[in-house]
Structures are given as C-alpha cells and as structure tokens.
Amino acid sequence: MKKWWKSSTLWFHTVMTTLSTAAASFTFLQPVLPVKTYAIAQFFLALVQTAGGMLLRFATTENIVDQRKADVLLPAGITDRRAHADTPVPTPPTPPVTPTQGMG
C-alpha cells in the first residue's frame, strides 16, 4: 500500500482538473483564438483527462492506504498486508451463549 501523495493517478487528475478549471476561468484566450480552435482545445483537454485516467487506472498495482483504517485492520508491527499474507489477523473472542439469551 502506498501513501496518497505517491499516486500518479491522483496527481494526473489534480493537474488535469486544474488545467480544465483554468481554461474555463481565464477567458482571455477565447477572443484571441478562433471559436473552433478554442472548442477543439477544450475537447482535447477533456479527452486527455478521460483517456489518461483510464490508462493510469488500468496500470495501478497498489492500493492507497487509509491510515485511519490501516491501524485497525492490521496487527501491530505489520505495515504491508501482502508481505504477511500468511499471518492471521487476530479476532476478538466471542462470549459464550447461555440458554437464557434469545428466548425472550
């Protein structure tokens, strides 16, 4: 598992979203470029974001660790579950059922 800031997919989407927002917000290019060129540039930006995100998603080999859940799910001292696949995760003992429970 890797930290979120090491994810190329997240960084790619962050950069592409920033570029898309900038293209939509800064309209100073629109009067300079022909309408058709501006529309093609916006379409190309959306196409690159979609195709790039799909390719990066298919290339993903590791999950992103959620540190809040990782401490709960993994036994103490184990940081990578795949490296310790044979190590059983301890489960809490279940209390014994007495005959009077569930009869009410």
d(CA 56, CA 16) in angstroms, rounded, equals 13
Domain count, the chain: 1
In a domain, 32, yes or no: yes
Give the range among 50-54, 81-85, 94-98 with minimum mean pLDDT: 81-85
In a domain, 31, yes or no: yes
pLDDT > 90? residue 99: no
d(CA 34, CA 22) in angstroms, rounded, equals 18
Parent domain of 57: 4-82
Q: Against a cut of 0.75, is the pTM above it? A: no
In a domain, 92, yes or no: no
In a domain, 97, yes or no: no
In a domain, 100, yes or no: no
What is the three-state SS of the chain? CECHHHCHHHHHHHHHHHHHHHHHHCCCHHHHCCHHHHHHHHHHHHHHHHHHHHHHHHHCCCCECCHHHHHHHCCCCCCCHHHHCCCCCCCCCCCCCCCCCCCC
Q: Write out pLDDT tens, residues 10-49.
A: 888 889 888 888 877 777 777 787 888 888 888 898 899 8
In a domain, 76, yes or no: yes
In a domain, 94, yes or no: no
